[in-house]
Amino acid sequence: MEHHAITGIRHLTDHTFVIRFDRKGLVFRAGQHLLAGLENQNKFREYSIYSGENDPFLEILIREVAEGQVSPSLKSLQPGHHLIIDGPMGVFNLDPKTFLTDKICFVATGTGIAPFHSMVRSYPDLNYRMIHGVKYENEQYENVDYQSDRYISCISKDPSGNFHGRVTDYLRSNFPGTMMKYYLCGNFSMIREVFDILSEKGIPRTQIHTEVYF
């Protein structure tokens, strides 16, 4: 584990924020995650890397959990403070042999979009479609970072966005097709339901990659 100095923090909503910190030469693959926490607390939480492979900094996207043991403390940090980081870890990655020619569909809920942000930032020429499920319009976290014709917001609690409803509702009525690789990241119930939908549509298990994010 190493100390990394925080260089900035962006508050995206009242409860969601991005912490930027020194990279210190850390090498990772887009889709991997880090363990982050504070030394004096000795408590750590997994966060997918939000920044790109070639960025000179590291970023993680965090949603504050009121009763959480780590996120409320991270929210109070300021530039100049330090994080304790371990990693990178994980194998939720693009196929290194085929990703530049693959047709890819990312399906995320909430801050589960973080690893996909890293993938798109690392490889802007990806042939992707992003389906992002959130409750409210302001939870479309920095969606300007995605090509407008590739990002689809599914908003369940208000009628804004590209689709009013959950990502599972969208997939049932707007199936992206069988010739795509699917990457799912978010809460377990979404992943289980989307996996079932894709299986019913004839998508083989080898074309579905999952990461339970919370």
Give the pLDDT of residue 161.
84
**This prediction's pTM:** 0.95
Closest CA to 120 of 100, 97, 90: 100
Q: Are 66 and 72 in contact (CB under 8 A)?
A: yes
Domains of the chain plus CATH, in order, are 2-89 (2.40.30.10), 103-212 (3.40.50.80)
Give the pLDDT of residue 11.
96
In the chain, count of helices (H) and strands (E)?
4, 12
Give the pLDDT of residue 214.
57
pLDDT tens per residue across all 214 residues of the chain: 899 999 999 999 999 999 999 999 999 999 999 999 987 778 899 999 999 999 999 999 999 988 888 999 999 899 999 999 999 999 999 999 999 999 999 999 999 999 999 999 999 999 999 999 999 999 999 999 999 999 999 999 988 889 999 999 999 999 999 999 999 999 999 999 999 999 999 999 999 999 886 5
Closest CA to 119 of 30, 29, 212, 209: 30
